[in-house]
Structure 1
Amino acid sequence: MNHKQTAKEVLELVGGEKNVKQVTHCMTRLRFNLYDESKANKEQLQSTDGVMGVNQSGGQYHVIIGNDVSNVYRALIADSGLSADVKTSDAEEATKQNVISKLFDFISGVFTPILPAIAGAGMIKGLLALMLTFQWISDKSSTYTILTAIGDGAFYFLPILLAVSVAKKIGTNQYIAAAIAAAVLHPQLTALLGAGNTEFLGLPVIAVVYSSSVIPILLTIWLGSYVERFAEKYSPKSLKIILVPTVTLLAVVPIMLVGVGPIGAILGNGLSGGIDLLFKHAGILAGLLIGGFMSPLIITGMHYALIPIMINNITLNGFDYIMPMMFVANMAQAGAAFGVFLRSRNKTFKSLAMSTSITALMGITEPAMYGVNMRLKKPFIAALIGAATGGVFMSIFKVKAYVMSGSAGIPGIPAFIGPTFVYSIIGLVIGFVVATIMTLILGFKDVPVKEGTKAEKPEEKKDSTVVQNELVQSPLEGQLKPLNQVNDATFSNEIMGKGVAIVPAVGRVVAPFNGKVETIFQTKHAIGLKSDQGIELLIHVGIDTVKLGGKYFTSHVQTGDLVKAGDVLVEFDLKGIQEEGFDVTTPVIITNTNDYAQVDAMTDGVITEKETLLTVRVEENEEGIYNDTIRKNIS
C-alpha cells in the first residue's frame, strides 16, 4: 500500500481538508469528525486501495484501514494542515454537539446502563405470565408473590435507578440523587399524596404517583444538579460533606413535589396518551410509519428517544405499542438478508447473508443491516417494506408488548404474552416473509466474485496436500461469542479478518503465542501481535473503548517487545469499563487471514487463558513447498 496516496485519496473523498473538524485513529480505522457527512463519497471510499470499509457511528465517520492505519494517519497529518491533537474529554466533545445530538446522547447514556435490569425484570414478568397462562403456577401461591416482586421491583423503584444513572451521566453525586428518588417513594409520603389536599409550607402539593415514573425524576435530577453545584461552590470546605447533601435534599425534594413532578407527570401522561390515541384512531398509519421507519431511526440513533416513552407506556398503561414495531423491523432486516442468501451467487457473501439473517432474528441487526442490506441498497428498501407491512398488520390488531424486553428478537417474544400474542407472531412472520419476497422481486447488484479466491477454486484432491496447523491460545478468560454477533460491523462482517470474540471474565490479556508486539495503541485498548510463524493477530478489548482515552487500562509491554505465550500484555478494570457503559466484548482477529487456507475458531462455551482458541491451517503441496504468500510471512 502507498500510504501517502491512500491518505490523499481518503482526505479528498471525505470532502477535503475544509470538511474535517478533526481526525484521530484507533487500532483499525481513521475516525473523522466532519462538518458535512453528505460531502463524503462512501462508494468511492469503499473501493479505494487500502480501505477495507466505511462505517458511520457515534457522530463520527469511520474509514477502516486495518494494520496500516497509523502509517496512513501520519501521512494524512504530514501532507495536510490538519492537527494531530485529540479531544481531551467527553465534556469538551459535548459542548460541540447540537441540541438534538446532546439530547440523544443524554437519553442513551441514561437508559443504556439500566436496560439490563429492566429487561431482566421484564422477562421474568413475561415468563410469569406464560406460567399463569398454562396454569403451571397459582396466583395465590407464595412462589408467585416472590416472582412478582422480583419482576416488579425494578419497575416500582425505577425512579431510583434512573436517578443514579442521570447523576452519573451529568457528573453529580449518585447517592444524593438516589436519596431524592427514595424520598418521593417513601410509603408515608405515598399515602399522604393518595389522601389528597396536601400542602408544604403553604404551597399545594399535587397528588402524583411516582412509583414506576420516568420523566419527573429525569427533570428533577437535572435541575438538582444545579442546586448541588451551587451548594458545592458556596459551602465551606470543612462543612461540604454535610451542607451539600442537606441543602440539595431540602431544596430539590419539595421543588419536585410542588412543581417539577406534576409537570413531568403531565408530560409523561401526554406522551403515553398521544401514542395510545394514535394507534387506536390512526392505527394503520401509525404502523406504516413507525414500523417502516424504525430501521432508519435505529441507524441515526433517534430510537433512543423512544425508550423513555416505551417504559412510561408500560408502567402507566401496562402495555406499549412501539416495541412491537422494533421487533417487526428487526424481523424484516433478517428477512431481507435471507432473501440475499437465496439470490446471491457469491458463495462467501451467501454465507455472510445467512449468518447475519440468523443474528438479526435474535435481535442483533447491525451485521445484516450494515454488512448486507444497506451495502446492496435494494434489500434495505425491501426490509422497510416488510417492516411497514408487518407494522400495519400489528396496528390493525393492536398488538401490544406487556413488558420491556432485553432483545427485540426471538428471545424477547415473551414480552408479547397476553391477549394479542398470536397476532404478534403473525405480524413478525409477515415482516420476515414480505422482506424476503421483496428482496427477490426487487433484486440487487450482486457482490462480484473475485477471480482466484479460495472460495471459488475447485477442491483439490485430499491426497495432494498436507495440512499443517498452527495454534493460537486464548489471550483471555471468558465466554466465547461468534464474531458475527459482535456489535460492530467492522468485526462482525469480518472486514479485518476471521476470528472470534470473548466476553472477558477477568481483566487481563496474555500473549497467545511466542512472538513480537507489532503495535500497542496509545490508549492501550488494542494490541497487534505477530507470532514466530507469521500469524498477525489483533486483540481489541471492548467496543469503542478508544473513547476512554486509556482510562482503566495498564500496559505491561511496548511496541517491539518479544513475548512468550502466557506473558501478561495488558490489564484492565473490567467493572470500571462496564460502569462507563461500554461493551467489553473483545474480538480476537487473524488480520492476515487471506494468507492461510482456513481459520477455525472455538465459538461457544467458556474458555480459559492458554486453551486453544484458533487453529490456522496452512496447506503444503506434495513437494513440501509453501505458497509464496505464506513463505513470505514466516520467513
Structure 2
Amino acid sequence: MNHRKTAEEILQLVGGESNVQSVIHCMTRLRFNLYDNSKADRKSLEQVDGVLGSNISGSQFQLIIGNEVPKVYKEIIANSSLSESKSAEGETKQKKNVISSIFDVISGVFTPILPAIAGAGMIKGIAALLVTFGWLQEASQTYQILTVIGDGAFYFLPILLAISAARKFGSNPYVAAAIGAAILHPTLTAMFAEGGSISFVGLPVTVATYSSTVIPILLAIWIASYVEKWVDRVTHASLKLIVVPTVTLLVVVPVTLITVGPLGAIAGNYLSTGTNFLFQNAGIIAMILLAGTFSLIIITGMHYALVPIMLNNIAVNGYDYMIPAMFLANFGQAGAAFAVAMRSKNKKFKSLSFTTALTATMGVTEPAMYGVNMRLKKPFVAALIGAAAGGLLYALTDVKAYIVAGMAGLPGIPTFVGPEFIFAILGLVLAFVAAAAVTWIMGFEDVMASAEETTTEEKTVNTATEADAEKASEVIASPLSGEVRPLAEVSDPTFAQEIMGKGMAILPSKGEVVSPVDGEVVTLFATKHAIGLKSTNGAEVLIHVGIDTVKLNGEHFTAHIASGDKVQKGQKLVTFDMEAIQAAGYDVITPIIITNTAEYENVTTLAEGTVNSGEAVLDLAVSATTSKEAS
C-alpha cells in the first residue's frame, strides 16, 4: 500500500479537507467527524487500496483500515492543515445522534444474548420437527423436557436482557437480574392470575405479563442505572455494599410494576398489533416491500431496532412476519453472489463470490453484500428483486416464523416449522433463483485483475511461502482474567465479523492487561486502550480494551510500557479502572485478535468459562508442510 496515495484519495472522497471537522484513529480505523456525511463517497472509498470497509456510528464516519491505520493517519495529518490536537478536541465535542444511539443500545443489549436465544430456538425447532414427522409424541416426557429447555430462555428473557442491559448502561448486572427475577416471581404471577386488584403501599399495581417480554425490562434497567449511580454517589463508601442495591431494588421494582412495566407491555402489544395489522390488511405489499428492502435496512443498522418487535410478536402472538423477510433478503444476496461466481472471468473474484454466496445461505450476508454485490451494483439490485419475489410467495401463502432459531440461513430452517413449512422452503429457493437469474440477465462489469496483480502474483505467492516457513505453531496466553466470550458477542461488527482477524474476547473481572506472549510492543495507542504486540514466533496480537473506549482519550487507563519495548509473557502492560469506564457508558468486553490470521492454518480457542491471566486461550497452528519447512 502507498500510504500517502491512500491518504490523499481518502481525504478527497470524504468531501475534501473543508468537510473534515476532525479526524482521529484507533487501532483499526480512521474516525472522521464530518460537517456533512452525505458528501462522503462511501462506494468509492471502499474501493481505495487499503480500505476494508466503512461504517457510520452515531454521526461519526469510520473507515476500517487495519494495521496500517497509523501510517495512513500520519499521511493525512502531514499533507493537510488538520492537526492531531484539533482532531482530539473535535472528537470529544462531537454530538451523538439520538436515533443512532438507540440503535447502538439495542444492538449492544441483544448481541450478547443471541446465542442463548438461538440455541433455545433451535431446540424448540428440533422438538417441533420430531413431532411433525411422528418420531416423538407431545405427551411424552422427552418432548416436555425438550420444551422446557427450549422455552426457558424465552420465558426468563427479561432476566437475560436485564444482565446484558446493565452491562450496556454501566450498572450492576446482578442487581439488574434481581429486578428481572422479581417481576417474574411465581407469587406475583399468581396474584396477577387471580384477577383481583393489587396495590403496593396504597398505589395500584397494573396487571401485566412480563415473561418473554422485552420493552418493560429494558426501560426498568435504564431507570435502574440512574438510580444506582445516584445512590452510589451520595452514599458513604462504608455503606455502599448494602445501601446501593437495597435502595435500587426498593425503588425500581415498584416503579416498574406501577408505571414502567405496564406502559412497556402496552407499547410492546401495540407494536405487535400494528405489525400484524399491516400484514393482514396490506399483506402482499407489506411482505414484498419488507423482503425487498431488508438488505437496505441491514446496511443502515436499523434491523437491530426490529429485534424487540420480532421477539415480542412471537411472545404475544406465537408468530412473526419480519423474520421470514430477513431470510429472503439473505438468500437473495446469496443468489446474486452465486450468479457472479458463475459469470466472472476473474479467478480470484470468482472464488470470493462463490465463498460469500455459501456463507450468505448460512445467514452471514455481509461478505456477499459488501464484497461482491454492492461492489458491482447490479447484482445488489438483483438481490433485492429476488428477495421481493420470495416475499410475494410468502405473502400469498401467509408464511410465518414460529420460533427464533439462530441465524437467518440454512441452520435456522426450524424457524418455519408449521403449516406453511413447504412454502417457506420454496420461497427461499425462489429468492435465490430469482436473484441469480436477474443477475445473469442484467449482467455486470466484471472485476479484472490489474497488470500489476498479474505480473506480481508468482512473486507474492513465493514471498508468502517464505514468510510461512519462518512461522511456528504457538499458544497465546490470556492477557486478562475474566469470562471467555466468542467474538460474535462483541457489539462492534469489525471484531464480531472477524474483519481484523480471528480470535476471542474476554469480559474482564480485573482491570489489568498483561502480555500474552514473549515479544515486542509494536503499537501502544495514545489513548492506551489498545496494544499491538508481535511475539518472538511472529504472531501479531491486538488487545482492544472495551468498545469505543478511544473516546475516553486515555482517561481511566494507565500504561506501564511504551511502543518498542521488549516484553515477557505475564508482564503488566496496561491497567484500567473498569468501574469508571462502565459508569461512563462503555462496554469493557475486550477482543483479542490475531491480526495476521491469514498466516496460520487454524486459530483455535482453547478455553471457555472463566480464565485467569496467563492461562492458554488460543492455539495458532501452521500446516504440517510449513512446520516441516520451519524445522
TM-score, structure 1 normalization: 0.79
The Cα offsets for residues 453-503 of structure 1, whole Å up to 9 and x where unpaired, read as 3599799xxxxx999944343453799x999xx996799898x8xxx7344
Letter in 1 for 2:95: K
Distance in 2 of aligned mates of 1:204 and 1:3: 66
Distance in 2 of aligned mates of 1:265 and 1:258: 12
Distance in 1 of aligned mates of 2:544 and 2:411: 24
Letter in 2 for 1:83: E
Distance in 1 of aligned mates of 2:356 and 2:545: 19
Letter in 2 for 1:312: N
Q: Measured at CA, do residues 587 and 403 of structure 1 come closer, stay the same or move farther in structure 2, by a change above 3 Å?
A: farther
* Match of residue 471 from structure 2: 471
Q: Give the C-alpha shift of residue 219 in structure 1.
A: 2.1
Q: Give the C-alpha shift of residue 324 in structure 1.
A: 0.9
Preserved CA contact (<8 Å) 2:530 2:543: yes
* Match of residue 108 from structure 2: 109
Q: Measured at CA, do residues 362 and 468 of structure 1 come closer, stay the same or move farther in structure 2, by a change above 3 Å?
A: closer
Q: Measured at CA, do residues 275 and 66 of structure 1 come closer, stay the same or move farther in structure 2, by a change above 3 Å?
A: closer
Matches within 5 A, 1:232-271: 232-235=232-235, 238-271=238-271
Distance in 2 of aligned mates of 1:157 and 1:490: 29
Preserved CA contact (<8 Å) 1:476 1:502: no
Preserved CA contact (<8 Å) 1:470 1:615: no
* Match of residue 124 from structure 1: 123
Q: Give the C-alpha shift of residue 5 in structure 1.
A: 5.5
Distance in 2 of aligned mates of 1:44 and 1:248: 51
More moved, 501-510 vs 361-370: 501-510
| 2:599 counterpart of 1:586 | no
Preserved CA contact (<8 Å) 2:515 2:567: no
Preserved CA contact (<8 Å) 2:487 2:591: no
Matches within 5 A, 1:333-352: 333-352=333-352
**Structure 1 residue runs without a partner (length 5+):** 460-464, 594-598, 618-635
* Match of residue 220 from structure 2: 220
* Match of residue 613 from structure 2: none
* Match of residue 98 from structure 1: 97
* Match of residue 83 from structure 2: 82
- Helix, strand or coil at the partner of 2:297: helix
Q: Give the C-alpha shift of residue 166 in structure 1.
A: 2.2
Letter in 2 for 1:148: T
The Cα offsets for residues 236-264 of structure 1, whole Å up to 9 and x where unpaired, read as 55544444433333333333222222222
Q: Measured at CA, do residues 172 and 381 of structure 1 come closer, stay the same or move farther in structure 2, by a change above 3 Å?
A: same
Letter in 2 for 1:388: A
Q: Give the C-alpha shift of residue 430 in structure 1.
A: 1.0
Q: Measured at CA, do residues 289 and 614 of structure 1 come closer, stay the same or move farther in structure 2, by a change above 3 Å?
A: same
* Match of residue 626 from structure 1: none
Letter in 2 for 1:338: F
Distance in 2 of aligned mates of 1:543 and 1:447: 38
| 2:155 counterpart of 1:148 | no
Distance in 1 of aligned mates of 2:108 and 2:96: 15
Q: Give the C-alpha shift of residue 345 in structure 1.
A: 0.9
Preserved CA contact (<8 Å) 2:27 2:66: yes
Letter in 2 for 1:410: L
- Helix, strand or coil at the partner of 2:622: strand
More moved, 342-351 vs 133-142: 133-142
* Match of residue 161 from structure 1: 160
Preserved CA contact (<8 Å) 2:46 2:54: no
| 2:195 counterpart of 1:196 | yes
More moved, 153-162 vs 351-360: 153-162
Q: Measured at CA, do residues 87 and 538 of structure 1 come closer, stay the same or move farther in structure 2, by a change above 3 Å?
A: same
* Match of residue 14 from structure 1: 14
Distance in 2 of aligned mates of 1:259 and 1:490: 39
TM-score, structure 2 normalization: 0.80
- Helix, strand or coil at the partner of 1:527: strand
More moved, 36-45 vs 543-552: 543-552
Preserved CA contact (<8 Å) 1:517 1:562: yes
* Match of residue 423 from structure 2: 423
Letter in 2 for 1:589: N
More moved, 194-203 vs 125-134: 194-203
Report the count of equivalent residues. 591
Q: Give the C-alpha shift of residue 65 in structure 1.
A: 4.8
Preserved CA contact (<8 Å) 2:363 2:410: yes
Letter in 1 for 2:120: A
Q: Give the C-alpha shift of residue 391 in structure 1.
A: 1.7
* Match of residue 632 from structure 1: none
Distance in 2 of aligned mates of 1:311 and 1:467: 49
Preserved CA contact (<8 Å) 1:333 1:369: yes
| 2:170 counterpart of 1:171 | yes
Distance in 1 of aligned mates of 2:148 and 2:309: 23
Larger Rg: 1
The Cα offsets for residues 591-630 of structure 1, whole Å up to 9 and x where unpaired, read as xx9xxxxx6734789798676426898xxxxxxxxxxxxx
Preserved CA contact (<8 Å) 2:532 2:542: yes
Q: Give the C-alpha shift of residue 539 in structure 1.
A: 3.7
Q: Give the C-alpha shift of residue 54 in structure 1.
A: 4.1
Distance in 1 of aligned mates of 2:308 and 2:71: 44
Q: Measured at CA, do residues 531 and 218 of structure 1 come closer, stay the same or move farther in structure 2, by a change above 3 Å?
A: closer
Aligned-pair identity in percent equals 48
Distance in 1 of aligned mates of 2:570 and 2:221: 46
Distance in 1 of aligned mates of 2:322 and 2:563: 50
The Cα offsets for residues 187-225 of structure 1, whole Å up to 9 and x where unpaired, read as 121111111231314443332111112222222232344
- Helix, strand or coil at the partner of 1:204: strand
More moved, 160-169 vs 294-303: 160-169
- Helix, strand or coil at the partner of 1:293: helix
Distance in 1 of aligned mates of 2:316 and 2:428: 26
